[in-house]
Amino acid sequence: MNVIALPPLSGPGNPVAERRQGRVLVKDCIAIPGWVGDLESYRKWAHSDDYPQWGCVSFLNGDIFVDPDMETFLIHNQVKQAYNLGIGIFLLKNPTGRFVPDRTLYTNFAANVSTEPDGLYAHWETWKSGRLRLIPGKEKDYTELEGVPDMVLEIVSNGSVKKDTITLRELYAKAQIPEYWLVDVRTDVIRFDILRLNGDTYQAVVGDDGWIRSDVFDCSFQLVREIDPMGQPQFFVKVKP
């Protein structure tokens, strides 16, 4: 995998960032520093000890998106786990690349975006070519990915509808990510779309009896919802050639 150092980051003294001096407080729990005003200063904040360890914060082409609420269990956490497990088992049998779960910062300079997707995947060839790169953190290991993965996953929550369905759809297309997987289980009807890049926009892949074909993985996926022994919904991601 390719590894690069962080480019110079802006902060105090940056003319763009200095347009806003005071902090922005969100529900008294997330404070956006006054010097955060562009992608580079946002990344500097994201790599600092002051960056929030809860909630969802993203830099979206000049806007800072904040959802300070805790992650919901049934309609987000458990759906995310289903994809982690389903894709993980698939990759154990077909080790074609690496799947990255949530809580890892992803940045694309061309799209002017820095966010933490619910998941992303890249073929080994993508890593080796430098199309997607590891960014070292302040200490050992890596804390950021930069470039273009082969797939990115977002699961819609009540606070992220516009971000996931409109804003990120446009920005991920601008980043030229081949597939955007968009999932919404908040209603009785499950919505799982594989959006395939066609030029500069995404088009939904037409499913076949609930199965949706992924060119990235060269197989079909299905998200199903069942009821567990406690009477609560549980989710499974199925895979077939």
Q: In sequence order, what E strands does the chain have? A: 2-3, 24-26, 30-32, 56-60, 63-67, 97-101, 105-108, 113-115, 119-123, 132-136, 142-147, 151-155, 179-184, 191-198, 201-204, 212-214, 219-227, 233-240
Give the residue carrying structure tokens 């049934």: 74
Tokens of 94: 């077909």
At 234, list the tokens: 């549980």
Predicted confidence at residue 2, as pLDDT, reads 58
The conformation of residue 199, written as its DSSP 8-state character, comes to T
Mean pLDDT of the chain: 91
- Is beta strand 63-67 parallel, antiparallel or unpaired with respect to 56-60? antiparallel
Distances (CA, A) of 159 to 51, 133, 163: 20, 30, 8
Point out the residues of the chain with pLDDT beneath 50.
3-19
Q: For residue 26, what pLDDT is reported?
A: 87
The counts of H helices and E strands in the chain are 5, 18
Domain regions of the chain by residue span:
2-67, 73-240
Class of domain 73-240: alpha beta
Neighbours of 168 (CB within 10 A): 24
Q: For residue 37, how far is the Cα from the chain centroid?
A: 21
Please tell me the distance from the alpha carbon of residue 114 to that of residue 61, in angstroms, as a whole number: 9
pLDDT for 9: 46
Radius of gyration, CA atoms only, the chain? 18
Decide if 126 contacts 97 (C-beta within 8 A): yes
Cα–Cα distance for residue pair 229/41, rounded to 1 Å: 48
Write out pLDDT tens, residues 113-167: 999 999 999 999 999 999 999 999 887 799 999 999 999 999 999 999 999 999 9
